[in-house]
Structure 1
Amino acid sequence: MKMFTRGGRTGFVLLTTAAVIGLAGATQAQTVIEVHNTMSEGGAEAAALERFQEILAERAEGEFEVRPYLGGQLGDETEILELLNLGQTQMALTGGLFMSQYAPEYDAVGVPFVFPSFEAVEHYLDSDSGQAMQEIAREDGGLVYLAPQKRAFRQMTSNREIHGPEDLEGLTMRLPQLPVWVDVWEELGVQAVVIPAPDIYLAMRTGQVEAHENSLASPYTRQMWEVQDYIIMTNHLSFPWHWVASAQWWETLSEDQQTLITEAVEEARQHGMQVEDENDAYYREALTENGMEFIEVDTAPFREAAQPAIDRALADMADGVAEDIDAAIEATAD
């Protein structure tokens, strides 16, 4: 046995030719798949990545080594998109940044009060507009689009009872720094205040803002029952995750490997969506037990009141987007 160093670390090399050849063959036989997500352990995202890992372990007979990276371990969403573009990592369960970055003219999914269900979002992503967005993401971002994965709808929390859009007038509401979201909510009458996510609780406790919007995970994990009274079920945005792969890496795979990974993604996302629904139901029960009151509202008047801002957002989009939105909503209506 002979000592060697690699990257400052010491290891061992066997001098027998057969052992070296055998080791090289074993290494080449296994394809590493890094899969990234910015959320931490315990959520539907982690559950989906774990299921993806299990499926390939069960069906690929050691062909793949799946390495999930959660909590942005190797970078934020922007950094991971760049690594995917360069072919320096393999896959991600990513947010919608790539749509606004590479194909903003098709990014209707990020406009509040447009899609009434996740099924409508899925249908839109499979439309001509969705396919065009995916093609541009591949050409400009080096991304292969595989599938969307549901995130729970975003709702409102407030210290004021909200039953219709007229109740929003003058309400100070925390929003992220997304111009389309700010424009839509200001159209509804709120006074938008852009505050970083870590400062939300303090802003509410000090009275800087009276309301915010997010999925139910936000008021639950932030213990907002201490500073907020109501949750208004506006269902204003279904902002899914997206399974994507590096095109450079994807093109090195055989057709059978691509099929296997695509099937694994489909099963993993279905599992993730089931966990997401279960978690959302749990959050609602826990928030109710801690004293927050849920208010069910008719979302149609909110959408109607926000329509001028929605129209402004859609006016900048490509031909056919509005028609594909309408078709998606009609095709998935109850």
Structure 2
Amino acid sequence: MSTFERYLTVWVALAMAAGILIGSLAPGLVEAISLAEIASVNLVVAVLIWAMVYPMMVGVDPASLSGVARQPTGLVITLAVNWLIKPFTMALLAVVFFESVFAPFIAPEDAAQYTAGLILLGAAPCTAMVFVWSQLTKGDETYTLVQVTVNDVIMVFAFAPIVAFLLGVTDISVPWQTLVLSVALYVVLPLLAGLLTRRRLGSDAAIDRFKARVKPWSAMGLIVTVAILFALQGQTILDRPLVIALIATPIMIQSYGIFAVAYCAAWLLKVPHRVAAPCAMIGTSNFFELAVAVAISLFGLGSGAALATVVGVLVEVPVMLSLVAFANRTRPGFR
């Protein structure tokens, strides 16, 4: 690990502070970035995430795809956690905290909105950033791609029914443009670019050298992305710090709890660490573009539900970096 990568959490913390500062001092710049958006997908952030994902896609070896079928346990854990556990535990935590623990501090109508936002987050497992977390934990690139792809296919059919059931709303309109655009930007295009790069480089040695050269740019993209996300929400953080903290509490409990379930299951079932780490990361992080888009569609831009999904974005990076560090420290415990 380079010195830069070793202190990545420090740089991310500084990026969070810088983002809030930029949001306060340069609102015009932040507004211009926020307007560069199509179907609730911010194009500036999309380019940065693409840059983060691309180095890992270079490591995807099509010849290794057949090996995934011989080791299905990691995929089974991912799907079970994402679709049979995560949406329902998130809904339970939201109800417990906003209707009981935090009830003295939050109006009932706001509590219902925050609960709705967290349900949307819980039903939208991650697509793009999983590749980043997988790369940081030395995950198996090919297996991670398969996990994300299968997960996205299931999301097309399962997201709306689960949200409708948990929210008690029957007319859920899935923003297909957001879903399709995100998958194209974060999975399809980087994968094609990675495969073309592999073909151009030729040998495994050349591919390894190239990945080593571009890897620091991936971490830099993460830092800039964090700064932009916090700049976009900087004023909200400054204006409503208590509300942000209250919403963040069940999200953090959910994140660490889901990771523990998936990671421990992988360890008990003797899943290799290169599969176990990304397997646990997929359920832990969220497809925030989809969650935000649906929250705005159902409840409005200024709603508490939309705010809750945005808090999910702010919480995710520091939480996931702490889990990346934990996964790396516990690698020797896996076979």
Do both share a fold (TM > 0.5)?
Answer: no
What TM-score, normalized by structure 1, do the two folds share? 0.31
What TM-score, normalized by structure 2, do the two folds share? 0.31
Q: Judging by fraction of residues, say which structure has more strand.
A: 1
Larger gyration radius, structure 1 or structure 2: 1
